[in-house]
Structure 1
Amino acid sequence: MYIKKILLAILLIGVVAGGAFAFMVYNAVFAPNTKFNNEEAHVFVRSDDDFNDVKEMLAPLVKNMSTFEKVAVRKGYASNVRGGKYLIEKGMSNNDIVNSLRSKNIPIRVSFNNQETLGDLAGRIAAQLEPDSLLLLETFNDREFLQANGFTNETKLAMYIPNSYEFFWNTSPESFRDRMHKEYQRFWNADRVEKAKKMGMTPNEVIALASIVHKETAKVDERPRVAGVYLNRLKVGMKLQADPTVIYALKLNSGDFNTVYKRVLYKDLTLDSPYNTYKYAGLPPGPIAMPDISAIDAVLSPEEHEYYYFVANVENFGYHKFAKNLTQHNQNKEQYVRWINAQKINR
């Protein structure tokens, strides 16, 4: 009888101890282990980070680092850290946190617009993805890649179509560039390629002209008309005489793309540059900026008219006055010159 009591006591102690152990294990693995007040937090793990780096990032977010570490080791994450952007939700357990960090890299929306140079683009992308701008720029300028895919130093900017795209935060520079090339090929579908061919232009030539149209007017509804003017000039052998190309030539000549030019002077028109369309006929060697899709499509589907000239409309800012002949244009231009002189804009 006495022995039975002892055995029963030992059994009860074992059950209690086992229950306590099971509770500890459950608590360590499945109980909530976050300490932030927001509904969610994001952790950005770099490609070369290790488990110690991850623990440092999580220190402000988890209540018990010791239990998190044990679960991470047990599940094999501590020795297999992966770069990316990860979501940590309020009330997550260690098991949930490790599962998120291990396999739920979140894609993000990356967007860019009309950058003037690849350096500008690299800076824009570096602000959104892991790679730094210098490494991105080096990848964008890779000669072998450019030559293999039909781009030159002058046309390389044309490959990047401004839009929003989905990427993983830890996307490599090469993967970003290659994806942009695929997007370029996807953008130039059969319909757009056929339109370009009918105009006697290549996709990169269309983008070069679109970059001028983009710079000439920010009004999307006016771009087909502006495109029509330049195409009319090209058809009859007129020089494009586009002020934005002169401004680009000035910037390229000085190496300073941060200067803002509000006015093109007569002396600027003499600058010897293939981008100066007052001096050289035809299209410039490449785009002078990254045109919006609306500007590209405006060139591919221009407004048909008989205008050859246009000047800023000071009675309807943002838009332009169009003319079919030089006499009419000079009348419109006089009004603009009077206005700009009154504003004392000398440069």
Structure 2
Amino acid sequence: MDSQTLIDAYDTLLLDLDGVVYLGRGAVPGAPEALRRAEERGVRLAYVTNNASRTPAAIAGHLSELGAPATPADVVTSAQAAARLVAERVAPGSAVLVVGGMGLRAALRAHGLRPVSTALEEPAAVVQGIAPDLSYGLLSEGALAVRRGALFVAANADSTMPTGRGELPGNGAMTRVIAAATGVEPIVAGKPEPPLHRESMIRTGAARPLVVGDRLDTDIEGARNAGVDSLLVLTGVAGPLDLLTAGPGQRPTYLAADLSALHRPYTAPGRDGGGWTCAGWAARWAGGRLRLEGGGEPSDGLRAACAAAWEAAGDERADEDAVKDVLASLLRGDALSGGPSLRG
């Protein structure tokens, strides 16, 4: 990319929340400022989250408290994608058993569906999303309804979710209760499946979107599935080792330490003889191992290293033992200390 900044090529940012804009209740350092600058430049901000527990209004309120520009209309949730998916498959006004929080209930009502909490209501569908007070009783009601033939939809399949205390069980882990008890696998609405991206495009009308996320298996894979560009920021779940060993379906278009990279020219790795270079770094695959030499901005080194590792791996994943030697060079001092995942 030339002297333009990274953000210049896009009209809309489709931003993940947990691990990108905030961790728990607190902002990722520098994220609100980067988003305000993007909005000032006329770029549309859409907050696209797999978390179905809260309403768009509650999420927008939280973002505003952190200093990020947001209104309820800027928030797209897996609950909204799940509600549309259900509404397209059941009769208008149908009862839908909600194994989750208020975000799911509000989204279903917006599509003219009737949220219920018991299988006695004979629901046409069961929709499950993460909620802090999810109970055995509600999971049991969901299992009973699914056994009786109700459509089973999961807002997302995230096995974990990042918080300020570490990674906690996500909705994907919780849906295993009903799936194991009934033998029925849910239809998934959230990333990386297409329904949430479709919902985002419907709501934003984006022509040139950039997906921004912190997870390879949801954000980046979802962008690849949708055929759009992606930016992986190292402030949440994915770390350098995850990137170096990423399979072809989870390799981002761009990678950076944090959202401030949106406002700088992006230095992409280039082919150089038998290896790859990026700024002051040179990476090559030799003797069955990844080699990295040079110095400078660590994110440039990681870009060069990923290019070499991905080329060598082709359609497979690079072996962890073959790439981990480069981590000492990348993580020397506090070079990549912008977030909790940057040291693994």
TM-score greater than 0.5 by the shorter chain: no
Greater Rg over alpha carbons, structure: 1
Greater relative CO (CA pairs within 8 A, separation 6+)? 2
Quickly name the TM-score band, shorter chain normalised.
Answer: under 0.3
Higher strand share: 2
Q: TM-score under structure 1 normalisation?
A: 0.22
